[in-house]
């Protein structure tokens, strides 16, 4: 490795990069003179020293710095503004990472994740190094959470070409450029970071391998789940509880009861690296998680919600996996709903309001939950996850007494208990549901798991006997099969319609997305796990709005096709597809799922949809 690296260093100028048009100040760099870029950059910074901050604009462009290219993508306006956006690109022969693990998408994601964490580690060890006023000298990366996610902060392709995006505060004293400090930042500190965090020879190779192998095992386990028709798999020994309500880190070993696997629902997976792994295997169908209060029901459910993502080594949930299309469903009163067909769950409302195109600025608990289900199915989900804790009771069930007291004609709600099996049988949609209080669900469950002192037990047989011994005596209330009668074609161009320039997209917190003057509340969208995803969702909405404008008022795609278009753009063009120029890709994005993109669209209060009526096919 060392020789390879030294060779690459010797080839300096041959490095990657200058493939995009040079911008303003850097234009004078072409044709490439004999003097290495590093020297010219140093000379430029010396000239800039003492000048006004705006003169930093002349750094824009690409600099080949011995082994890697430093792209200055955006120069901040002043030392207090958001720091400048920089990007390092490096070829495989320079960093020397083995290429074999990069041949799968999960291998690339895990490797990039590992490298990003090395940057974070080195930066933390380095401490804050202010080099002047405001953010001068600061180096910032978007820190990853507990999941493996494709992130714009660090990317590596199958050929090993690596891209690291970050921000740095260009040093100044007041608004006066500190050229020498800038030279230290750009020509010493950043290269040192690259050397310490991104070169194979500086990395803990074993730990890197663990990252890659964990990802490979997760991918293999997901393939096995699919082949065996499982919706979830929780490996023996998994650590599901988290440190606190505000921390996604595992509860300390010793305090956490490791996940135990009941024999009745156990299956084994043979994984390429971990070998044979036993786990709780949840098949398609209706599965209840029950048990006494505080016995770990919600913790298991939450782990399943997040099992749509792969988790990093040491997280405890590495092999707690849920179908990628699982969607958490909850009541969300107060949300807006735009022309959603909730009629399978809620019939005609008081005042004769039809519910096949239900629209409201202020949904109730039950109508919001119905809309959440209809929208999840529209987006393609085939696994619903619910926790009684966050469900609307009247949406879930009407017991025998209420059925007597309030006649069916006066109750618009068809309770979910009467729909959940139809969803399974007619639409192939599974449900995993936490219930502690509503025994009527025992009638409709394929599997019943009881949590006792944080340990799952399978009590399906017991529950079945009980339903015979103690019938619920409810009248089933479903009027017929589950049918959705409309297709929605969302219109998003309005997002930017009143903006003179491209609207600013901002997310400070994971549950918040601001798009120009609009605010989209993601507070109840619990499967967005990082603020980086919220930001990316904002930019995806902009892409979709742009696509709509370019379609010039013609027919817009229906929701599923719209989501597909977003995914396809990202699949084929990567982050680059979200912006007009490559240097606009920011380093603080992570890939959201289509369900969360849909959730944001559905919560956008300016949304209009063209409604297409479906022919009734019965
Ligand atoms: P429930 O939903 O059944 O009321 P929770 O899932 O909310 O229970 O769990 C109750 C408490 O127990 C939480 O503080 C949670 O972190 C903790 N807990 C859950 N699972 C475990 C476990 N396996 N080991 C240790 N503590 C756990
Ligand atoms: Mg609970």
β-pairing verdict for 320-322 and 266-271: unpaired
Atom of ligand 1 nearest to the CA of 389: 2
How close is the Cα of 587 to the center of ligand 2, in Å?
A: 36
Task: Give first-to-last CA distance, the chain, whole Å.
Answer: 68
How close is the Cα of 600 to the center of ligand 1, in Å?
A: 30
pLDDT digits (tens, 9 = 90+) for 249-266: 999 988 999 999 999 999
Residue 596 structural domain: 486-613
The answer as to whether 251 is a domain residue is: no
SS3 459: coil
Nearest residue by C-alpha to atom 5 in ligand 1:
296
How close is the Cα of 297 to the center of ligand 2, in Å?
A: 6
pLDDT for 126 equals: 87
Which residue among 203, 231, 254 closes a domain? 203
How close is the Cα of 510 to the center of ligand 1, in Å?
A: 24
How close is the Cα of 453 to the center of ligand 1, in Å?
A: 8
Q: What is the 3-state secondary structure (H, E, C) of 495-531?
A: HHHCCCCCCCEECCCCCEEEECCEEEECCCCCCCCCH
How close is the Cα of 389 to the center of ligand 2, in Å?
A: 6
pLDDT digits (tens, 9 = 90+) for 393-433: 999 999 999 999 999 889 999 999 999 999 999 999 999 99
> In this structure, are 82 and 20 located in the same domain?
yes
Q: In this structure, which ligand is nearest to the CA of 387?
A: 2
The answer as to whether 314 is a domain residue is: no
Nearest residue by C-alpha to atom 25 in ligand 1:
256
How close is the Cα of 289 to the center of ligand 1, in Å?
A: 13
The answer as to whether 173 is a domain residue is: yes
* Residue partners of 504: CB distance under 8 A and separation at least 6: 514, 516
Atom of ligand 1 nearest to the CA of 239: 23
> In this structure, are 498 and 444 located in the same domain?
no
Give phi and psi for 10, each to the nearest 5: -65, -30
CB 288 within 8 A of CB 437: no
Give phi and psi for 165, each to the nearest 5: -110, 135
> In this structure, are 402 and 494 located in the same domain?
no
The answer as to whether 132 is a domain residue is: yes
The answer as to whether 478 is a domain residue is: no
486's tokens: 């409309």
Question: Can you give the pTM of this predicted structure?
Answer: 0.93
| pLDDT per 10-residue tile (average), the chain, 618 residues | 41 36 44 75 97 97 95 96 97 98 98 98 89 92 97 98 98 96 96 97 98 98 98 98 94 94 98 98 98 96 98 98 98 98 92 91 97 98 97 95 92 96 98 94 97 98 96 92 96 84 90 94 97 98 92 85 96 96 96 98 96 76
> In this structure, are 419 and 497 located in the same domain?
no
CB 83 within 8 A of CB 72: no
> 515 — alpha (psi -120 to 50), left (phi > 0) or beta?
beta
SS3 583: helix
Q: How many CB atoms lie within 10 A of CB 372?
A: 27
> In this structure, are 419 and 519 located in the same domain?
no
Q: In this structure, which ligand is nearest to the CA of 391?
A: 2
Atom of ligand 1 nearest to the CA of 299: 6
Q: Quick one: which H or E segment has residue 306?
A: helix 297-306
Nearest residue by C-alpha to atom 1 in ligand 1:
294
Pocket of ligand 1 (CB under 6 A): 240-241, 251, 256-257, 291, 293-299, 451, 454
Strands in 295-409 per DSSP E: 310-311, 320-322, 326-329, 337-340, 358-360, 383-387
Name the residue of 241, 244, 432 to mutate for ligand 1: max ligand atoms within 8 A of Cβ.
241
Give phi and psi for 61, each to the nearest 5: 120, -160
pLDDT for 18 equals: 40
pLDDT for 616 equals: 64
Atom of ligand 1 nearest to the CA of 387: 2
The answer as to whether 123 is a domain residue is: yes
Q: Which of 58, 42, 46 is nearest to 178 (CA)?
A: 46
How close is the Cα of 288 to the center of ligand 2, in Å?
A: 13
106's tokens: 């999960």
> In this structure, are 490 and 465 located in the same domain?
no
Atom of ligand 1 nearest to the CA of 258: 23
> In this structure, are 30 and 166 located in the same domain?
yes
The answer as to whether 363 is a domain residue is: yes
Task: Domain count for the chain, please give it.
Answer: 3
pLDDT for 351 equals: 85
> In this structure, are 22 and 165 located in the same domain?
yes
Name the residue of 288, 296, 317, 437 to mutate for ligand 1: max ligand atoms within 8 A of Cβ.
296
Whole-angstrom distance, CA of residue 296 vs CA of residue 402: 30
How close is the Cα of 241 to the center of ligand 1, in Å?
A: 6
> In this structure, are 76 and 194 located in the same domain?
yes
Nearest residue by C-alpha to atom 16 in ligand 1:
241
Which residue among 203, 223, 241 closes a domain? 203
Name the residue of 244, 294, 435, 449 to mutate for ligand 1: max ligand atoms within 8 A of Cβ.
294
The answer as to whether 138 is a domain residue is: yes
Dihedral angle, C-alpha 169, 173, 177, 181, nearest 10 °: -60
> In this structure, are 457 and 504 located in the same domain?
no
How close is the Cα of 454 to the center of ligand 1, in Å?
A: 7
> In this structure, are 449 and 547 located in the same domain?
no
> In this structure, are 42 and 181 located in the same domain?
yes
pLDDT for 496 equals: 85
218's tokens: 């997760």
């Amino acid at each position: 490795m060392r020789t390879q690296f030294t060779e690459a260093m010797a080839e300096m100028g041959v490095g990657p990069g200058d493939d995009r048009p040079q911008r303003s100040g850097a234009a004078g760099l072409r044709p490439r003179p004999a003097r290495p870029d590093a020297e010219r950059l140093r000379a430029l910074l010396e000239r800039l020293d003492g000048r006004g901050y705006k003169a930093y604009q002349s750094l824009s462009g690409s600099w080949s710095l011995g082994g890697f290219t430093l792209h200055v993508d955006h120069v901040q306006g002043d030392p207090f503004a958001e720091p400048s956006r920089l990007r390092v690109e490096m070829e495989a022969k320079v960093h020397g990472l083995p290429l074999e693990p990069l041949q799968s998408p999960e291998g690339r994601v895990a490797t990039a994740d590992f490298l990003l964490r090395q940057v974070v580690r080195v930066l933390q060890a380095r401490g804050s190094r202010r080099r002047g006023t405001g953010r001068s000298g600061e180096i910032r990366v978007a820190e990853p959470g507990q999941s493996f996610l494709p992130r714009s902060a660090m990317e590596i392709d199958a050929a090993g070409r690596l891209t690291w995006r970050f921000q740095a505060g260009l040093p100044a004293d007041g608004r006066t450029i500190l050229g020498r400090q800038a030279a230290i930042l750009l020509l010493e500190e950043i290269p040192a970071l690259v050397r310490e965090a991104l070169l194979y020879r500086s990395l803990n190779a074993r730990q890197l391998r663990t990252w890659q192998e964990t990802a490979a095992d997760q991918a293999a386990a997901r393939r096995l789940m699919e082949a065996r028709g499982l919706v979830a798999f929780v490996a023996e020994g998994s650590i599901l509880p988290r440190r606190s309500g505000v921390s996604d880190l595992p509860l300390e070993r010793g305090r956490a009861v490791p996940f135990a696997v009941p024999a009745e629902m156990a299956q084994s997976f043979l994984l390429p690296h971990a070998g044979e792994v036993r786990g709780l295997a949840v098949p398609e169908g209706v599965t209840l998680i029950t048990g006494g209060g505080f016995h770990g029901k919600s913790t298991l459910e939450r782990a399943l919600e997040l099992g749509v993502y792969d988790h990093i080594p040491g997280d405890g949930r590495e092999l707690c996996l849920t179908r990628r299309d699982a969607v958490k469903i909850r009541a969300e009163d107060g949300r807006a709903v735009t022309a959603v067909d909730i009629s399978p769950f809620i019939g005609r409302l008081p005042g004769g309001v039809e519910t096949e195109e239900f629209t409201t600025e202020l949904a109730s608990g039950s109508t919001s939950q119905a809309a959440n289900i209809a929208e999840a199915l529209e987006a393609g989900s085939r696994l619903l996850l619910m926790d009684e804790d966050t469900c609307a009771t009247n949406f879930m069930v009407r017991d025998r007494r209420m059925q007597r007291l309030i006649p069916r004609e006066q109750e618009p709600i068809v309770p979910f208990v009467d729909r959940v099996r139809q969803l399974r049988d007619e639409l192939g949609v599974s449900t995993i549901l936490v219930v502690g209080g509503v025994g009527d669900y025992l009638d409709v469950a394929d599997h019943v798991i009881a949590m006792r002192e944080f340990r799952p037990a399978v009590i399906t047989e017991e529950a079945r006997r009980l339903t015979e011994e103690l019938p619920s005596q409810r009248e089933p209330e479903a009027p017929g099969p589950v049918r959705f009668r409309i297709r929605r074609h969302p219109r998003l161009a309005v997002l930017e319609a009143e903006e003179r320039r491209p609207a600013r997209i901002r997310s400070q917190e994971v549950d918040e997305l601001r798009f120009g003057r609009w605010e989209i509340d993601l507070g109840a969208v619990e499967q967005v796990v990082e603020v980086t995803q919220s930001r990316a969702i904002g930019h995806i909405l902009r892409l979709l709005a742009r696509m709509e404008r370019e379609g010039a008022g013609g027919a817009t795609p229906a929701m599923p096709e719209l989501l597909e278009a977003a995914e396809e753009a990202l699949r084929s063009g990567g982050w680059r597809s979200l912006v007009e120029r490559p240097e606009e890709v920011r380093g603080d994005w992570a890939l959201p799922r289509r369900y969360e993109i849909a959730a944001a669209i559905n919560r956008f209060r300016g949304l209009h949809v063209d409604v297409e009526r479906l022919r009734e096919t019965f």
